[in-house]
Structure 1
Amino acid sequence: MNVILLLIISSILNFTIPATTITGTVTDENAIPLPGVNVLVEGTKTATQTNLEGKYSIKVEKGDKLVFSYVGYETTVIKVGNKKEINVSLVPDNAELEEIVVMGFNERASKSIRIRGVSSLPPQQESYKEINENIFKSVNTAPLSTFSIDVDKASYSNVRRRINNGQNIPEDAVKIEEMINYFNYGYPQPTGEHPFEIHTKLAATPWNKDTKLVKIALQGKTVPLDDVPASNLVFLLDVSGSMNAPNKLPLLKSAFKLLTGQLRERDKVAVVVYAGAAGVVLPATKGDNKNAIFEALDKLEAGGSTAGGAGIEMAYKIAQENFIKGGNNRVILATDGDFNVGASSDRAMEDLIEEKRESGVFLTALGFGMGNYQDSKLETLAQKGNGNHAYIDTMQEAKRVLGTEFGGTIYTIAKDVKIQVEFNPAKVQAYRLIGYENRLLNDEDFNDDKKDAGELGSGHTVTALYEIIPTGVKSKFLKDIDDLKYTEKKNQRNSDELLTVKFRYQEPQGSKSRLLTRVVEDRTEAMDPDFKFASAVALFGMHLRNSEFTNNAPVDLVTRLAEEGRGNDPEGYRAEFIRLVSTSLVGEDPASE
C-alpha cells in the first residue's frame, strides 16, 4: 500500500502541465497592426515578436502571463488562463516619450512637425553621406536632367528602425528615392525584348496647386529562380567586436541561413569572415550541402577590430577563383560598416571596389545594427561595386530581402541603367527631381558607356517623381535668371509634348548600352492608388528632411494620401507605413503659428 502511495505522489510531483500555443494580433490605438512588438512569457526567456501583420505565436503553460512591450506604448500584461487566442490593443505611453521638435527648413514656414523620441538611448555615431536637396531648375538654362537609377531600399528600413526605437532622424539618413522604391507597385511585367517596361503618368501635385507631378517608372522582368543562372556566391561577414549585439551577428546568422535555404545544387557558396584579419571559414561548397554552410555560420563569434579592406580583397579573390562564365558571380557583404583597420575612408573603399568590379563580380551590401551603422560606406560600396544595398533591422526584413525578393537581391538583369529627361520649354518653366541627389549624373555621362550607373535586379521596380512648374504659372520657387544672349529657343508651340525621357542600359555581361525613348504628353490624369501612395511617401520624406518644398502642406495630407493609396496590401507594408507616419509626425507646432 505504501509503495502504491509513493508511486502516486511521485507521479504527481513529476507531472508537467502540457504546453499550449497562444496566437493573436497586436494593434495600435487605431486598430492598425503593430509589427516588431516583443511578446514575453513573464519570468522566462521564452519570447517572440509580431510579424508584419501584427500576428504572433508563442508556447505557454496554464497560469503563465504574457508581457507585450513596444517603444512608445504602455507595457501590457495578460494572464493566459484557458485562452487559445489573445488579441491586444496597445495604448500610447505619452508619459515616457519626449517630443523633439524639428523646425521647418524655411524659417518663415508657419508649421513644423514633432518626432517622438526616447531620451535614454545611447549616443549615436552613425554616418550618412551629405544630401543637398534638389531645387527647381529653369528649363531655359538646364533643359536636361540626368541621373542613375537607384533600387536600394536601405533608407526606408533604417528610418523605420529609428522611428520604432523613438530616435530622432538625421536629415541625411532620409533618401526619398529609396523610401519610394521600398514599396511594390502594380506595374505590368515587360512583354517586349527589353528586360524592363516603362510607365509614365502626369497628375496634379497634392501639396501644391501651382505644380504638377510626373511619375517615371521601370518594372524589371521577374526571372523565376529556376531560370537564374548558376550562382557563385561569397558570403563576406563582419565578425568584429562591433558586431557583438543581438541585432547584429545573431540576426546576420539567421538571415544567411534563410538565404542558404534557397540555394540549389548547381550553386556554390564560400564564407569569408573578417575582424582583426580576414580568413576563410568555408571554401566553395555546393548549395545543396546546407548542413556544412549552417555549421560554418553557427561557429561565428564576434571580437576584434575591423579589417574590412582585407576582407573585400579575399572575398573577390575567392569569387574570381570560382568564377562561373555566364553565371551569377557575387560577393554578399554583411556588416555595420564600421571599418577601422586598413583601407577605411570612403574614398579608399571607393577606389578598392571600383578596381574589383572590373572582375565581373557583382556586390550586395547588407547593413545590420544600430549605434555605429555606417550607411555612407555601404552606399559607396554598393554604388561603385555594381550592386545594391539593403538595411536589415529585423528578421521580417531579412525574409523580405533574402526571401521574397531573393532573386532581385542576387541577380542583375540590366546594369548601368541611366535616365535622361528633356523638358519642353513651351510647357515647363522649371522642374525638380524629388530625391536621387546622390545619383545625379552630368548630362554628358548619359552617352558614355564607361560611366557607371545603377543596376536593376530581377523583379525590381524604380519610381522617380518630378515636380514641374508649368509655363505661365507664377511660383515662389522660381528664381530670376537673365535671358540668354546666344541660346536659340526652339519652343514647340504646337506640340503636346511635355517631355522626352530616354533610358540607357547594358546587359549584365555587356559593355555597349542600348537606348529606349518615351514621350510624355501634357495630359493630366487623376492619381491612381499607386501614384497616391508614392506621393505620400515622397511627402513624408520631405517632412522628415524639413524641406521647404512641402509648401507648408499639413502633415495629415501624408496619411490621407497613403490611406487612399493603400489598395491591395497583402503583406501589410503600406499599413505599416501609415502606422509609422501616425507615430512619428505628431502634428503642427502651436508655438510656430
Structure 2
Amino acid sequence: MKTKLIYVVLLISLFSIQAISQIKVSGKVTSAEDGSAFAGINILLKGTSTGTVSDVNGDYSIEVPNSKSVLVFSFIGLVTEEIKVGSKTIINVQMSPDTQQLSEVVVSGKGRTSKKEHKAATMDYAEEISMSGAAYRHHQPVQVYQETNTEEYAEISENGFKNPFQDPISTFSIDVDAASYSNVRRFLNLGQMPPKDAVRIEEMINYFDYDYEQPKNSDPFAINTEVAPSPWNKDHKLVHIGLQGKDISMDNLPPSNLVFLLDVSGSMSAQNKLPLLKSAFKMLIDKLRPEDKVAIVVYAGAAGEVLPSTSASEKDKILDALDQLNAGGSTAGGAGIELAYKIAQKNFIKDGNNRIILATDGDFNVGASSDKAMEELIEEKRDAGVFLTVLGFGMGNYKDSKMEILADKGNGNYAYIDNILEAKKVLVNEFGGTLFTIAKDVKIQVEFNPAKVQAYRLVGYENRLLAPEDFNNDKKDAGELGAGHTVTALYEIIPVGVKSQFVVDDLKYQKTQITEGAKNSSELMTVKLRYKKPDGDTSKLIVKTINDDKKSMDDTSDNFRWSAAVAAFGMQLRDSDFKGDLNYLDIMNLAKSARGKDEEGYRAEFIRMVESCKLLARN
C-alpha cells in the first residue's frame, strides 16, 4: 500500500514538473514589405498538431514544452518560417511573399492547381479561440482541393448593359449571402484561381460591413446612395446603393427556437467538415441566452433527434450532445429536413425567432423524392414562420448551387465556413444579422432617366433578378435583411453622349420620346424599395430619387471606393467582358485607399488576397 502511494506521488510530481516546464511564447506577425499586421497566420509546434493562429492585430500566444521546441509560421502565398524557441519568450516574425510557390501552378478542368498539390495533402493546425471565459481548442486540417472533384456551381450569365428606352426598369431581390467570398478565399488560399461560376460579385461585396447611417424613422433600414465615375471605365458612372439594417441589442432580440440540422453522413468525415462544424456551433451555443432553446437533428442513412428542444441555460447538455456526433453513412437530407421542421413547429415561439440551421457540404444523395419536393416543403414552412439558415462546409464534393437555393427558399441566409475565424464572423460577430430577420421579401426597383442614362447594368445579382411586375406582387418571394446587416448594390451607367461598344445603335423603324420633365430634371434615377415585416403579408413602399452627381473619385466615401474595389476584383476573377482597364495593382491601391477602421481585419485580408492574385497572374 505504501509503495503504491509513493508511486502515485511520484507520478503527480512528474506531471507537475512537466506542466511547470511549459514555456509561454508570444509575439506579433507582420509583413516584411510594409510592417502591417498579418492575421490568420498558422503557428504550429513542429512535429505536432498543436498550434494557434495570429489575431487581427497579428498577435499570437502559444505554450511549448521546452526550449528545444520549434515553431512553424505558415500561410499560403508566404514564405514559411521555422524558429527555434531557445531562451526567447517573445518571438516577432516578419513574413514575405513566396513568389515561387504562387507561380507554380498548372491548369486543370476545375481551375488552377499547384504542382505540389496535385496529390492529396493535409496540413493540420490548431486554433484557440477564447470567448466569455470559455476556451475551445479546434484541430482543423485544411485539405488540398484536388482536380478530380464533384463540386457544383450554378452557371452565371453576367448582366449586360440595357437600353432605358427598351428596358426602363431594373428589378431584383436583395442578397445578404456572403458564401461566395469565403469560398473564393478558400481557393486562393490553396494557390488556385476559383471556378468562374463560384464568383458571385454581389456576395463578395456584401461580405463586408459598410459605414452607413442608421435608420432614423420607423423603417427597419436606411437607404444610402452615391454617384461618381466608375474606376474601371472613367467615361462611365457608378451608382452605389446601400441599405443599413437597424442595430438591435441582444437584450432586445426575441427568444429563439433553434433546430440544428447537422449532416453526419460519410461525406462529412473530413476534419474540415464535421469537426469544424462542432467547433463553430460551440461558439454559437456560448452566445445564446437562457430564454433561447436548441434541438439537434442529425441525418446520415436515416434522420434522428439526438437532443430534444433544450433551454440554453443547460449549455453543458447541448455541448455534450454535439460532442457525441460522428460521421458515417449515406445522406438522407430530405428526411432530416422534414424532421427538423416538425420539431421547430412543435416548439414554435410566437413572435420569436423560429429557425433551422442546416450545416452540410450539400451532398444530398438519398432521402427526399426530389429536390423540388424538398424546396416546396421549405417554402411551405417559411410561410408558417420557420426560416432556414444554411452553413456550408468542406470541399471536393461541395454542392454550392443546391445550398444557395435552399437558403433562398427558406427566407434565410447562406454562408460558407472555411475556417474557425469565418465561423466566428458569421455566428458571433454577426449573430443578430445571421439569425434575426428584421425585414423580409425586400425588393428593389430602379427606373432610369433616359435624358441622362444611355445604358445601364446591374453589377452582380444575376440569380436574384425579378420581372418588373414582381415588384408590386406581395406573393413573390424575395430576400431578407437581418439586424445590423448591410446590403450594397452597384449600377454601372453609360451617360448620354458617351460613345461605347456597349451601346446599341438607334432603331430604324421606331422613335422614342423623352418627356420635358425628364429633360429638365437633375434626377439620374428613381429607386423604389418594398419590404414586409418578418410576420407580415403586406409590403411597405419607400421611394428615393438619385441626382446626377459631379463628384470625383477622390471625393467619394470609403464605402463607395471599397465596394468598387471588390466588384472590380470579382470581375477580374470572372474575366468579365466589363472589367475595363483596371489590373490587380490598381484594385489593391483602390482598396488600400478605402480600408478605413477595419477593426476585425477583414479588409486587410482582402488586400492580401488581391496581392496573391497579382502574383498568380503575374500582372
TM-score category, normalised to shorter length? over 0.9
Distance 1:116 1:458, change over 3 A: farther
| 1:82 is the counterpart of 2:87 | yes
Q: Tell me the alpha carbon deviations over residues 559-585 of structure 1, each in whole angstroms, 9 at most, x when there is no partner.
A: 011010011111111111100100123
| 1:576 is the counterpart of 2:616 | no
Q: In structure 2, what residue type is equivalent to 1:243?
A: M
| Aligned twin of 1:547 | 576
| Aligned twin of 1:37 | 41
| 1:141 is the counterpart of 2:166 | yes
- Percent of pairs identical after alignment? 60
Q: Give the Cα–Cα distance (whole angstroms) in 1 for the partners of residues 509 and 485 of structure 2.
A: 42
Unpaired runs of 5+ in structure 1? 1-6, 103-112
| 1:480 is the counterpart of 2:512 | no
Q: Give the Cα–Cα distance (whole angstroms) in 2 for the partners of residues 51 and 580 of structure 1.
A: 17
How many angstroms does 1:71 deviate by? 2.4
Q: Tell me the alpha carbon deviations over residues 211-242 of structure 1, each in whole angstroms, 9 at most, x when there is no partner.
A: 00000110000111111111111000011111
Q: Give the Cα–Cα distance (whole angstroms) in 2 for the partners of residues 115 and 203 of structure 1.
A: 38
Q: In structure 1, what residue type is equivalent to 2:537?
A: S
Q: Give the Cα–Cα distance (whole angstroms) in 2 for the partners of residues 250 and 298 of structure 1.
A: 9
Distance 1:345 1:478, change over 3 A: farther
| 1:278 is the counterpart of 2:281 | no
Alignment counterpart, residue 382 of structure 2, candidates 336, 351, 357: 357
Contact kept in structure 1, 2:112 and 2:193, CA below 8 Å? no
Q: Give the Cα–Cα distance (whole angstroms) in 2 for the partners of residues 261 and 346 of structure 1.
A: 34
Alignment counterpart, residue 519 of structure 1, candidates 539, 545, 567: 545
Q: In structure 2, what residue type is equivalent to 1:397?
A: E
How many angstroms does 1:377 deviate by? 1.0
| Aligned twin of 1:151 | 176
| Aligned twin of 1:458 | 483
How many angstroms does 1:554 deviate by? 2.4
Q: Tell me the alpha carbon deviations over residues 479-529 of structure 1, each in whole angstroms, 9 at most, x when there is no partner.
A: 235267386543611110110000000000000000000000112322112
Contact kept in structure 2, 1:238 and 1:306, CA below 8 Å? yes
Q: Which runs of 4+ in 1 moved over 6 A?
A: 9-14, 113-117, 587-590
Distance 1:587 1:335, change over 3 A: closer
Q: Give the Cα–Cα distance (whole angstroms) in 2 for the partners of residues 138 and 474 of structure 1.
A: 14
TM-score by length of 1: 0.92
| Aligned twin of 2:615 | 586
Say how many residue pairs are matched.
574
What CA RMSD, in Å, does the superposition of the two structures yield over aligned residues? 2.4
Distance 1:183 1:446, change over 3 A: same
Contact kept in structure 1, 2:359 and 2:391, CA below 8 Å? yes
Q: Report the 3-state secondary structure (helix = DSSP H, G, I; strand = E; otherwise coil) of the residue aligned with 1:350.
A: helix
Unpaired runs of 5+ in structure 2? 1-6, 119-143
| Aligned twin of 2:30 | 27
Contact kept in structure 1, 2:103 and 2:616, CA below 8 Å? no
Q: Give the Cα–Cα distance (whole angstroms) in 2 for the partners of residues 370 and 292 of structure 1.
A: 31
Q: Which has the higher contact order (CA 8 A, sep 6+)?
A: 1
TM-score by length of 2: 0.88
Q: Give the Cα–Cα distance (whole angstroms) in 2 for the partners of residues 187 and 132 of structure 1.
A: 30
Alignment counterpart, residue 51 of structure 1, candidates 55, 58, 63: 55
Q: In structure 2, what residue type is equivalent to 1:56?
A: Y
Contact kept in structure 1, 2:387 and 2:410, CA below 8 Å? yes
Distance 1:147 1:218, change over 3 A: same
| 1:505 is the counterpart of 2:531 | yes
Distance 1:419 1:259, change over 3 A: same
Contact kept in structure 2, 1:411 and 1:457, CA below 8 Å? yes
Distance 1:313 1:15, change over 3 A: closer
| Aligned twin of 2:73 | 68
Contact kept in structure 2, 1:419 and 1:503, CA below 8 Å? yes
Contact kept in structure 2, 1:156 and 1:178, CA below 8 Å? yes
Q: In structure 1, what residue type is equivalent to 2:388?
A: L
Q: Give the Cα–Cα distance (whole angstroms) in 2 for the partners of residues 101 and 32 of structure 1.
A: 31
Q: In structure 2, what residue type is equivalent to 1:493?
A: K
Q: Give the Cα–Cα distance (whole angstroms) in 2 for the partners of residues 93 and 461 of structure 1.
A: 35
Distance 1:334 1:85, change over 3 A: same
How many angstroms does 1:177 deviate by? 0.6
Instruction: Map residues 327-406 of structure 1 onto 2, 5 A cutoff.
Output: 327-343=352-368, 346-406=371-431
Contact kept in structure 2, 1:147 and 1:418, CA below 8 Å? yes
Q: Give the Cα–Cα distance (whole angstroms) in 1 for the partners of residues 328 and 15 of structure 2.
A: 45
Contact kept in structure 1, 2:105 and 2:192, CA below 8 Å? no
Q: Give the Cα–Cα distance (whole angstroms) in 1 for the partners of residues 205 and 72 of structure 2.
A: 35
How many angstroms does 1:82 deviate by? 1.9
Q: Give the Cα–Cα distance (whole angstroms) in 1 for the partners of residues 453 and 115 of structure 2.
A: 42
Q: Give the Cα–Cα distance (whole angstroms) in 2 for the partners of residues 21 and 399 of structure 1.
A: 25
Distance 1:132 1:53, change over 3 A: farther
